[in-house]
Chains A and B, each alone.
Chain A
Amino acid sequence: MNRKRLFWVTGILVLLSFATLSLAQSGSELTSPGMPDRMKKAIEKSLEDEKLAANTRKVIKPDAEPGYFGIPGAVDPNVIVGLLWAIWVGWIFSTVGAFGGIMAGVGHITIFGLGDYAKGFGRGSPVNTLITDSIRVSNQWLVGLSGVISSFNYYRMGRLVAPLGLCLAIGGVGGSWLVPELTAGKISLKQYIGWFGIAVFVIGAFLIYELTPKGSAKKKEAKAAAQAFEKAVKEKTDTADQGVKILEGSWTIMFIAVAAVVASTLWINLVSTAKVVAYILLLGGWVLTFFIGTIRFTFYGQQFQFKAWIPMLGGIFIAAIASFLGVGGGFLYVPFLTSIAGLPMFLVAGTSALCVLIGMIISIFSYMVGKGVIVSWGLIGAELIGIFIGSMIGPRTSRYIPDKVLKIIFIILALYVGLRYTTKGFLGRSIVPPF
């Protein structure tokens, strides 16, 4: 191609680009210049369908000030309200624990008004599903960050059972990308809050069980057992034996299985064609885990063992639930590792933190890179400041509020939130006020 021709072609292409850009901007008066591209596309797509277009035109007010994600007339989460809500979340985190994650979700859905706003676009609307996915990912950023903070410390302290973490990860990695792959852009806010409500009920049921005579009796028995062993002299163990020492387990198969599931994640998110390859890699990784067999290790001189496929299956379900609801999943990993794998406390904490971390990275990566979901960075930053302030207040107030009273407060709260969200999600209206 000669030089002159090249200039002409380039010139025409540049002109065409500008023309396309200006047409794209003026094509819909419902978008604004500061709006993320992904949201612009979602609005434009919803205008293609007659029914959805009517809803979209009704909800978006072109002359109003831009709100959430630059949508004209959208709710604009107030930073002060966000901060105060996050202080409450931080307070719960530092007094009752995992329930804080649920409350972070309640903030995004109800307190900031994003839930009702998204619902206004109607079922199947790309704007509705984009805001819903954004809520899920924002929750995950907040709650899942917990894993980042603790995993590294536990690793340094030798309190991570690497094979157990890897087996959980083999399941968890798949669970974490399967859910965004199958549900991103498909779950409306109504469905999401319905399932969120059910999760709140489950956590409420855990709290109720702890307060029942059976639950309290178990705790008393455990305390008595601890006292009985108080006088027993602990055998001296070599300092080198105090960390985790692996005695048996096939590392080769384990690494191949991990490589297969990681490759499946990269394929599904970065390669848009032949998705079947990702599914084959994932299934291959899962099947391989059954050939790893039993893993034995010592911690503080005591021997523990588990079958590799058990944490793999647990990892699939826990990560899938966590990814769907936009929570960290720590509240499910801890009872799983304590009851089913029978791990000692320090290892449960470290290993569950690692699993939360892996699940969070995969899930957020799949939503944001694979599916193009967007979040409001500033809002998450403001919420983190609130959580920090709340965690300062929590230990001070818990001195004056007995544990039992705290649990009763949160059972009532869980029942209220659970009822409200489940009925709103599945029946279309809340049966508890505000209706």
Chain B
Amino acid sequence: MDTIKWVLGKIDPVLIAPYRFFDDPLIGWWVGTFVLALWAAFLGELTLAVAYRVNRDPIAKTSESTLYYHEQSLKAKQAKDEQAYKKINRLANEEFGKSFFLLIAMGMGSLWPAFFAAAWLNERFGAIVFKLPQWAGGFDLSFLAPFVLLYIGARVIFSKVRPYIPFLKLPRQEPSSSA
């Protein structure tokens, strides 16, 4: 855990700088946290791009066999052979499970910067409380809720610009709808 604190301490000057762009502390906090969310989203996208490039072949191979069983199961369904449909469908699921968990593990890997960002925010702004207005219930929120919202926004922005950035552009892995 000390290692994590050490790493967070080293990157602290870079991360805190955008918080000082504005004199108003509230505006500074939102801008700084949005820049932090952008960093987290960018590093995550980069990780995902590396993962796709490294694992392209295994994913394509399992996708191919998944699609094969999926097609056969639908043919069985079409022929009103429910028993065969169930059996082949189970095989298709098993095949799909292989690429599914691989894709999930890769996708989870892309979220690591967000958790480091949360750890840094906790160190720096753990004591901050955002009080919602009365009409919204008047509840107290920690740094987490605004950060999650900004992070989702940053990921949406990256998903829009990704096709225009050569390295981040992901190859299509899902079988097309030609089945």
Give chain A's interface residues, CB within 8 Å of chain B.
Answer: 36, 67-68, 76-77, 79-80, 90, 93-94, 96-98, 100, 142, 145-146, 148-150, 153, 157, 218-219, 221-223, 225-230, 232, 234-235, 239, 242, 270, 300-302, 334, 338-339, 342-346, 348-349, 368, 376-382, 384-385, 387-392, 394-395, 398
Interchain CB contact under 8 A, B115 and A349: no
What are 20 A-to-B residue pairs whose CB atoms are below 8 Å? A67-B1, A79-B1, A94-B105, A97-B98, A100-B105, A150-B104, A218-B87, A222-B90, A223-B91, A226-B69, A226-B73, A226-B88, A232-B78, A235-B78, A344-B92, A345-B69, A381-B113, A381-B118, A388-B51, A395-B55
Sorted nearest first, the 9 A-B pairs with minimum C-beta distance are A388-B109, A381-B115, A149-B107, A391-B105, A395-B58, A378-B4, A378-B119, A384-B112, A377-B119
Distance between Cα atoms of A90 and B92 in the complex (Å): 23
Q: B112, A344: Cβ atoms under 8 Å?
A: no
- Type the 1/0 row for B73-93, where 1 means its CB is closer than 8 Å to any CB of A: 111111101001011111111
B interface size (C-beta, 8 A): 66
* In the complex, B102 has a CB within 8 A of chain A: yes
> Which residues in A have their C-beta under 8 angstroms from that of B103?
149-150
Cα of A157 to Cα of B122 in the assembled complex, Å: 37
The answer to whether A80 and B3 touch (CB under 8 A), given A222-B90, A388-B110, A391-B106, is: yes
A222→B101 contact, CB < 8 A: no
Counting chain B CB atoms within 10 Å of each CB, which of A153, A225, A338, A390 scores highest?
Answer: A225
Q: Which residue of B lies closest to A228 (CB)?
A: B84
A142 to B106 CA separation, bound complex (whole angstroms): 12
The interface residues of chain A, by DSSP majority, are classed as helix
Q: Which residues from chain B contact A390 at a C-beta distance below 8 Å?
A: 105
A342–B92 Cα distance when bound, in Å, is 13
B101 touches A98 (CB 8 A): yes
Specify which chain A residues have a CB less than 8 angstroms from the CB of B78 in the assembled complex. 232, 234-235, 301-302
A384/B109 contact (C-beta < 8 A), A225-B76, A302-B77 known:
yes
Docked-complex contact A394 and B105, CB < 8 angstroms = yes
Closest chain B residue to A303, Cβ basis = B77
Q: A219, A339, A368, A376: which contacts B1 (Cβ < 8 A)?
A: A376
